[in-house]
Amino acid sequence: MSVAEIKKIVTLMILIMCLSIMVATIVACNSAESDHSTGFSTILGSSNFDLKSDATSTCAKGTILVFRSEDSTLCVRIVARIIIDSDDWGGIAFFLPNGCILQDVLSTYPENKTTEEDSIVLWSAVGDDLKYTTTIEIGRSREYIPTGGGEGTIVIECNIRDDKKVAELVFGIEASAVKDNGVVIMGLIHDELLIVLPD
Please list, residue by residue across 4-28, b when 16 or more beta carbons sit within 10 angstroms of its beta carbon and e when fewer do: eeeeeeeeeeeeeeeeeeeeeeeee
pLDDT for 107-119, tens place per residue? 999 987 765 556 8
pTM over the 0.85 mark: no
pLDDT for 52-80, tens place per residue? 988 889 999 999 999 998 888 899 999 99
Question: What pLDDT, on the 0 to 100 scale, is given for residue 32?
Answer: 47
Domains in the chain: boundaries? 1-34, 42-196
Q: What CATH code would you report for 42-196?
A: 2.60.40
The closest of 78, 154, 87, 67 to 119, measured between CA atoms, is 154
The residues of the chain scoring below 70 in pLDDT are 1-39, 114-118, 163-164
